Amino acid sequence: MQAINRYTDQMLQLNSSQRRYLSRQAHDLDPIVMVGKRGFTDQIVEAVQQALHAHELIKIRFVDYKADRVTITEELARRADAVVVRVIGNVAILFREQPDPKKRRYRLPAPAPASVEE
């Protein structure tokens, strides 16, 4: 999953080690945004954007619209300039790196060097 980060104008792509790292970091987090009876609304998008600005890494719980959770999560990530870390059960994890390096809470592991085959 990719997202264009409007703050840095770079494509944000997570590799498997970065996804694992963020999933571990999100393990003890409580869901901040709930998708309920009203489903996908502008208020949900605004809540996700505010939560990402404040926390960088958030969980979203799907109370309703569980069958559409992957589609809704991808659209939320696209509209919030975030990346989908993982969707497990009725919970989605989104990440958007803080544009100010001093305010970043999570230091993503560097990508592993490419292996050289001979």
The pLDDT score that the predictor gives to residue 6 is 43
- The full length of the chain comes to 118
pLDDT confidence of 38, banded at 50, 70, 90? confident
Rounded CA gap, 95 and 97, in Å?
Answer: 6
What is the dihedral sign for C-alpha 27, 33, 35, 37?
Answer: positive
pTM over 0.95: no
Query: Apex CA 53: angle with CA 98 and CA 42, to 5°?
Result: 135
pLDDT tens per residue across span 63-118: 988 889 999 999 999 999 999 999 999 999 999 998 888 888 998 888 766 666 65
CA distances from 35 to 16, 73, 76, 78, 79 (A): 27, 10, 11, 16, 15
- Say if CB 82 and CB 96 are below 8 A apart: yes
For the chain, the structural domain boundaries read: 2-99
At the topology level, CATH places domain 2-99 in: Translation Initiation Factor IF3 (3.30.110)
